[in-house]
C-alpha cells in the first residue's frame, strides 16, 4: 500500500512538471514562434496561455511593440564640403516574427548599423542649407533608404526616422551668424527704402493737390501753427512766404554777379604814337647814310670803309679792328640810358 502511494505521488509530481514545461504564457504585445527539434513550426502562437510539447519544442517570444533606437553621433561631409556631426533616432517594430528570428541575428543591432550607414549616405548627398531648413525631406529620404534592406528581408518596419541634432564647427557658426545678420540688415534697408518711396509718392500727390488749390497750402500752414502752439506755448511762429525768399535770393545773385564783373581789371590799351610831320620825315630820311655791303655781288672782300681785302691776314686784321670792346659796350649803354 505504501509503495502504491509512493508511485502515485511520483507520477503526480512528474505530471505537474511536464504540465509546467508544456504551458507558455504569451503577452498581448508578443508573438510566439515554436521550434520543434530545431525546425520552425508554421503556426505562430498568439497572446494567452499556450501548450507545447515539453520535450522537443522550444518557444521564442518576439515583441511587436515599437522600439526606439538612438543612433550615435556620426561625422559626415555634406555635398558642399561642410564637416558636421549628426545624431538621429529610429522608430521601428517587428511585422514578421519568423523573418526577424530566422533571417537576421540580433535585429536591433542590425538596424543600428543600417541607420548609421544610411545617415552618412543621405547627409553626403544633401547640402548644408537643405539639411538645416528642410529636415522633413531629409527624414523621409532616410526612412526610404532604411526601409529597403529591413522590411522585406528582415520583417521590420521603419516607422519614423528623425534627426535630433546637427553640430557645426565654431567657424561655420560664426559665418552663418554674420550671414544672417547681413540678411536682416538688407531686409531692414529694403523696408526703409520702400517706406521712403511710398512716402515720396504720397508727398508728391499732396504737393500736386496743393498746387492746384492755393488755399490748401494756407490751411496746411495754419494747421502747422496750431500743432506747434499746442506743444510749445512759448514759441512764436511767423509765417514767411517762400516766394519772397526766392525774390531775395534772385536779387542777391544779380548783385554778386555785378560786383564780380566790376572787380575784374581791364588791360590798358597801348598809346597810339603821334604821326610825324612831313618836314621831320624828310630830315629823318636824309640823315640815314647808306653803307657799303661787306660782301659785294662781285665776290670780292671789302672792309668796313669800302677798301679791298685780299689775303687772309688782312681779313683777320679787319675783324680784329671791327670787334666791339668794353668801352664801346659802355658807351652804347650810356647812350641807351640817355
pLDDT tens for each residue of 257-296: 666 655 555 555 455 555 555 555 555 555 544 544 444 4
Identify the top-confidence range among 20-24, 150-154, 265-269, 299-303: 150-154
Identify the top-confidence range among 45-49, 66-70, 165-169, 265-269: 66-70
Q: What is the pLDDT of residue 111?
A: 92
CA distances from 22 to 16, 40, 63 (A): 10, 17, 21
Which range (32-36, 95-99, 145-149, 205-209) has the least confidence? 205-209
* pLDDT of residue 144 exceeding 80: yes
Rounded to whole angstroms, how far apart are CA atoms 49 and 23?
7
Which range (8-12, 17-21, 199-203, 320-324) has the least confidence? 320-324
Q: Give me the percent of the chain exceeding a pLDDT of 70.
A: 71
Q: What is the pLDDT of residue 77?
A: 87
Q: What is the mean pLDDT of residues 198-210?
A: 85
* pLDDT of residue 118 exceeding 50: yes
Q: What is the mean pLDDT of residues 329-334?
A: 50
Q: 96 or 243, which is more confident?
A: 96
Q: What is the pLDDT of residue 93?
A: 92
Rounded to whole angstroms, how far apart are CA atoms 57 and 35?
6
Rounded to 5 degrees, what are φ and ψ at 61? Answer: -95, 130
CB 12 within 8 A of CB 23: no
pTM of the model: 0.52
Rounded to whole angstroms, how far apart are CA atoms 56 and 15?
17
CB 60 within 8 A of CB 35: yes
Q: What is the mean pLDDT of residues 97-111?
A: 90
Q: pLDDT, tens digit, for every residue of 218-232?
A: 777 777 777 777 766
CA distances from 189 to 12, 184, 197, 200, 304 (A): 94, 9, 12, 16, 96
Rounded to whole angstroms, how far apart are CA atoms 106 and 99?
12
Q: What is the mean pLDDT of residues 96-114?
A: 90
Q: How far apart are the first and last CA of the chain?
A: 188
Amino acid at each position: 500500500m505504501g509503495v502504491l502511494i509512493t508511485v502515485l505521488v511520483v507520477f503526480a509530481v512528474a505530471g505537474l512538471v511536464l504540465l509546467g514545461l508544456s504551458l507558455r504564457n504569451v503577452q498581448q504585445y508578443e508573438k510566439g514562434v515554436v521550434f520543434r527539434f530545431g525546425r520552425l513550426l508554421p503556426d505562430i502562437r498568439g497572446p494567452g496561455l499556450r501548450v507545447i510539447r515539453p520535450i522537443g519544442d522550444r518557444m521564442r517570444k518576439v515583441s511587436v511593440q515599437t522600439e526606439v533606437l538612438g543612433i550615435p553621433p556620426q561625422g559626415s561631409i555634406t555635398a558642399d564640403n561642410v564637416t558636421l556631426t549628426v545624431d538621429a533616432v529610429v522608430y521601428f517594430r517587428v511585422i514578421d516574427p519568423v523573418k526577424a528570428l530566422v533571417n537576421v541575428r540580433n535585429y536591433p543591432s542590425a538596424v543600428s548599423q543600417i541607420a548609421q550607414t544610411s545617415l552618412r549616405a543621405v547627409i553626403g548627398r544633401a547640402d548644408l542649407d537643405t539639411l538645416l531648413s528642410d529636415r522633413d525631406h531629409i527624414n523621409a529620404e532616410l526612412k526610404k533608404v532604411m526601409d529597403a534592406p529591413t522590411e522585406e528581408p528582415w520583417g521590420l518596419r521603419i516607422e519614423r526616422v528623425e534627426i535630433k541634432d546637427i553640430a557645426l564647427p565654431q567657424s561655420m557658426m560664426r559665418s552663418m551668424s554674420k550671414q544672417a545678420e547681413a540678411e536682416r540688415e538688407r531686409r531692414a534697408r529694403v523696408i526703409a527704402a520702400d517706406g521712403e518711396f511710398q512716402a515720396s509718392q504720397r508727398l508728391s500727390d499732396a504737393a500736386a493737390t496743393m498746387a492746384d488749390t492755393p488755399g490748401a497750402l494756407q490751411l496746411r500752414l495754419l494747421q502747422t501753427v496750431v500743432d506747434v502752439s499746442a506743444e510749445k506755448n512759448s514759441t512764436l511762429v511767423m509765417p514767411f512766404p517762400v516766394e519772397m525768399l526766392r525774390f531775395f535770393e534772385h536779387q542777391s545773385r544779380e548783385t554778386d554777379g555785378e560786383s564780380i564783373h566790376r572787380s575784374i581789371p581791364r588791360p590798358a590799351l597801348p598809346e597810339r604814337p603821334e604821326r610825324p610831320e612831313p618836314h621831320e620825315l624828310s630830315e629823318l630820311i636824309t640823315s640815314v647814310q647808306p653803307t657799303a655791303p661787306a660782301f659785294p655781288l662781285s665776290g670780292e672782300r671789302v672792309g668796313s670803309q669800302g677798301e679791298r681785302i685780299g689775303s687772309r691776314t688782312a681779313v683777320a686784321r679787319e675783324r680784329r679792328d671791327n670787334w666791339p670792346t668794353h668801352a664801346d659796350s659802355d658807351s652804347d649803354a650810356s647812350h641807351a640810358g640817355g
